[in-house]
Amino acid sequence: MSAYFDAASTEPLHPAARAELLAALDGAWADPARLYGAARAARMQLDRARARVAGVLGVRPDEVAFTSSGTQAVHLAVLGGAAARRRAGRHLVVSAVEHSSVLHAAELHERDGGEVTAVGVDVHGRVDPAAFAAALRPDTALACLQSANHEVGTVQPVAEVAEACRAAGVPLLVDAAQSAGRADVPAGWSFLAASAHKWGGPPGVGVLVVRKGVRWRSPLPKDERGGRRVPGFENVPGAVAAAAALEAHRAEAADDGPRLAALVDRIRTEVPRLVPDVQVVGDPVRRLPHLVTFSCLYVAGEALLAELDRLGFAVSSGSSCTADTLRPSHVLEAMGVITHGNVRVSLPRGTGAADVERFLEVLPDAVARLRRSAGVTAP
């Protein structure tokens, strides 16, 4: 039986979400903008989903909009937040380890005549709040900081950065895709982006929150379904399932979070003990409970992932070398750590200790085999 250890890419659908998704496909399929009974039912379900998500995130329902992905939420927040502040200036501040959705939106802003400052991180991938504050300028339109890093799990100092942004009068976007549903996001931000499939909701549902009183202007063409932040026909069943999963995941996180954190601690201590020439990366303390990343010297990351897949473990690499680009991970580069032989283990809800033990059993041999076949002999 294979073990799925790639929750940071996507969490398996939560049973609570499946049940509500199926019910909503049957009961909330009509156009929520229409006036007949079935439409009103869909509208009610959508409003209720928004209120449930708002409840978990600690915001007002009218501040919440459902998007078609976390990526779309980020794009709308970055481009819409910057557009609304054009008079203040066209400067953006981002951390160097943001998700590609933030960096690509910032690139677009730059191509459009804007300016972007990327704030570096320490060896654990954590932003220094003072360095972030120093990058804010009178013409800064928007600042962006993730709540936690998607490749190495490091939790960022959102509260301190939010305070610096408030003092400078700059709105802050928090990309909470990796932490929403696991932990509360510190207050003080203006925009928040999240993604339902990361907390056991269905794929293709994101969340954009714009705090009351924060200016935002859509970077997209006007939509005939007026008055909303996200154009197009709403995915009501998706929103309902996303809300159900968020409530369930957040409620379970109190028990499951510490349990997963203990399993991750075991991986963090055992892997360097069992495998020579390994670097565990990411902040050892201020980190997501369920995620650990390590790099094995003298091993190609893709080969190691393929070998672990063969042995029954679905893990991924922080490095995007395995995806459709051949560039090493910008996160690991910014941290100044090894960028190859990288393995990210991220445990989904309910992962059992036995699977983790089995992983620790097979990993040393897998790495040794690959090193041998690459002609690397133990020192």
Ligand X SMILES: Cc1ncc(COP(=O)(O)O)c(C=O)c1O
Give the footprint of ligand X on this chain (CB under 6 A): 69-71, 74, 99, 101, 146, 150, 175, 177-178, 195, 197, 206
Give whichever of 74 and 133 is closer to ligand X, judged by the CB atom. 74
Q: Are 297 and 155 in contact (CB under 8 A)?
A: no
Given the residues 144, 165, 296, 321, select the one marked as catalytic.
321
* Long-range contact set of residues 157-161: C-beta below 8 Å, sequence gap at least 24: 157/126, 157/127, 157/129, 158/185, 158/186, 158/188, 158/189, 159/186, 159/187, 159/188, 160/129, 161/127, 161/129, 161/132, 161/133
Q: Are 334 and 124 in contact (CB under 8 A)?
A: no
Sorted by sequence, the CB contacts under 8 Å of residue 104 that are 6+ apart come out as 75
- 47, two tokens: 């409003």
Least spacing, CB of residue 287 vs ligand X, in Å: 14
d(CA 84, CA 82): 5
- Please state the φ and ψ torsions of residue 65, each to the nearest 5 degrees: -130, 140
Give whichever of 99 and 249 is closer to ligand X, judged by the CB atom. 99
Give whichever of 91 and 197 is closer to ligand X, judged by the CB atom. 197
Least spacing, CB of residue 376 vs ligand X, in Å: 32
Give whichever of 68 and 369 is closer to ligand X, judged by the CB atom. 68
- Any catalytic annotation for residue 321? yes
Q: Are 181 and 14 in contact (CB under 8 A)?
A: no
Least spacing, CB of residue 106 vs ligand X, in Å: 13
Which residue's beta carbon is nearest to the bound ligand X? 70
Least spacing, CB of residue 205 vs ligand X, in Å: 8
Give whichever of 11 and 307 is closer to ligand X, judged by the CB atom. 11
Least spacing, CB of residue 351 vs ligand X, in Å: 19
**DSSP conformational letter for 11:** P
Output the DSSP codes for 302-354: HHHHHHHHHTTEE-B-SSGGGTT--SPPHHHHHHTS--SSEEEEEPPTT--HH
Give whichever of 103 and 366 is closer to ligand X, judged by the CB atom. 103
Sorted by sequence, the CB contacts under 8 Å of residue 318 that are 6+ apart come out as 151, 152, 281, 293, 329, 331, 332, 342, 344
Least spacing, CB of residue 354 vs ligand X, in Å: 28
Pairing of strands 172-175, 191-195: parallel
> Known catalytic residues?
321
